[in-house]
Amino acid sequence: MNDSEPRVTIVSAGQLSTCPRMVKVADALHAEGYRVRMVMNRRTDWASQSDRLLEKELSWLDVATIDTRRSAGAGTFWPGAARYHIARRITRMLGVARASTSLRRRALLRSSETLLETTMSKPTDFIYFGGGSYPIAREAARRMSVPYGVDFEDFHRGEHGTTAEGRFQSELTASVEVEAARDARFVSMGSPLISACYEECLGIKGVAVHNVFPLPSEAPAFELPQGPLKLYWFSQTIGPGRGLEQAMRGCSAADIETELHLRGRIDGSYREGLESLARQVAPKMKLTIHEPGPSAGMIDACRPFDIGLSLETGVNSNNRLVMSNKAFTYMLAGITTIYSDTIAQRAFRDALGGRQPIVALDDTAAFATILKTWDADRASLLVSQQDAWQWAKRRWHWEHDDERGRLLELFDEHLPKVARCA
């Protein structure tokens, strides 16, 4: 590796294995001749094994991990927690508008000071802040005298609801977003809808880069679906407010043999309640809960199933605007998707030619009709699966010029590469 290669530091408040967006960026920059360092949090025990596997796979990557788990010990966890809670209390007392920049940064991001110190521990030529790390963006770049970019994957100020706590969090988030975007050389965003909202709020035009994934090395092997329809949903966490109960009632109303497969971490009490609900309302549906898997294996994990569920609830403005990773993952695996009816998902489904089904989450009868139609006409289900794969191959993958290429153009513009890795 040449010392003249430009250095990029990618900062995220999440973990390596739970921030595939930032990992894709790191990999793309490395391939273009940048020296890449990532600064990440370690927040949960369950993802640590996946983190280690990824670090081995990305052996070229310099990763600095901050352990923010409660199990890390009193000397690591509690000082950050104390700073966070004290900062939030003082910010509430003063009001967000009167609180200092550093106070608001600490009140929004629990690991802000440690993340800031670690980011500054090695020299760099450019910093890219993603995965919720934007509260430290302007301060880190100022202290290091380097340019920076920011990624707003989500519409962050729209994540918090209308309770008193939600309104405080939204105001705090909005104030920090303004500062992060102010001096950024560029701002990338998770979708055109999110970009349009931030353009209205911040007066900046961001560049939309979707949460798409690389094309798999093997294309799907399409066969006419047999047996009970197999529905699939995955996330980091299986919990309430995710549309799962509505999907169960839809399966019940269809009155056909189905399987509902869920993948993710699940609380014991919620699992008991979900299994009890399945027995009560959907006796013809078999519920199976799978352990979380590594992000790199999510496409392959979808392949055994017939129908993916992208069940955004529209619970807040961000949820209505965001396109989840699920929808793109299902396509690349060659399975069709049932979309819940949000602004973002309707726009995306229409961009696919309108042939993938979309339904209001509370419309049990419509959900059941979709399942009954496909159960009776397996050939039409197969056509829908093949159609999804064709769209993924043609447009909705990471290697497409409008995704990977668009992001690399931003880095090339603001930090021209001078050499490539050997």
- Tokens coding 196: 């349009």
**DSSP single-letter state for residue 403:** I
pLDDT confidence of 261, banded at 50, 70, 90? very high
Does residue 403 share a domain with residue 369? no
Amino acid at 206: G
Number of domains into which the chain is organized: 2
The alpha carbons of the chain give a radius of gyration, in whole angstroms, of 22
Is residue 224 a part of any domain in this protein?
A: no
Tens-place pLDDT, residues 311-322:
999 999 999 999
Q: Is 415 helix (H, G, I), strand (E, B) or coil?
A: coil
CA distance 240 to 259: 19
Does residue 129 share a domain with residue 202? yes
Is residue 405 a part of any domain in this protein?
A: yes
Does residue 244 share a domain with residue 173? no
Strands (E), 153-300: 186-189, 207-208, 229-238, 258-266, 285-290
CA distance 132 to 202: 17
Is residue 50 a part of any domain in this protein?
A: yes
Does residue 289 share a domain with residue 178? no
Does residue 32 share a domain with residue 18? yes
Does residue 293 share a domain with residue 389? yes
Does residue 321 share a domain with residue 180? no
Structural domain boundaries, residue 337: 229-394
- Cβ(22)–Cβ(39) under 8 Å? no
Does residue 198 share a domain with residue 256? no
Provide the mean pLDDT of the chain. Answer: 93
Is residue 223 a part of any domain in this protein?
A: no
Mean pLDDT of 161-185: 95
- Tokens coding 312: 């955004």
- CA dihedral sign, ordered 384, 390, 396, 399: positive
**Residue 418 above 60 pLDDT?**
no
Strand order in the sheet with 358-359: 285-290, 258-266, 229-238, 307-310, 336-340, 358-359
Does residue 245 share a domain with residue 151? no
Is residue 222 a part of any domain in this protein?
A: no
Does residue 65 share a domain with residue 11? yes
**DSSP single-letter state for residue 156:** G
Does residue 348 share a domain with residue 409? no
Q: Is 127 helix (H, G, I), strand (E, B) or coil?
A: strand
Tens-place pLDDT, residues 121-154:
999 999 999 999 999 999 999 999 999 999 999 9
CA distance 123 to 117: 12
Q: Is 148 helix (H, G, I), strand (E, B) or coil?
A: strand
CA distance 196 to 193: 5
Is residue 200 a part of any domain in this protein?
A: yes
CATH assignment at residue 384: 3.40.50.2000
Is residue 287 a part of any domain in this protein?
A: yes
pLDDT confidence of 212, banded at 50, 70, 90? very high
Is residue 221 a part of any domain in this protein?
A: no
- Say if strands 285-290 and 148-152 run parallel, antiparallel, or are unpaired: unpaired
pLDDT at 45: 75
Amino acid at 267: D
**DSSP single-letter state for residue 222:** -
Does residue 405 share a domain with residue 376? no
**Residue 75 above 80 pLDDT?**
no
pTM of whole model > 0.85? yes
- Residues whose CB falls within 8 Å of the CB of residue 77, separated by 6 or more in sequence, listed in order: 68, 69, 70, 71
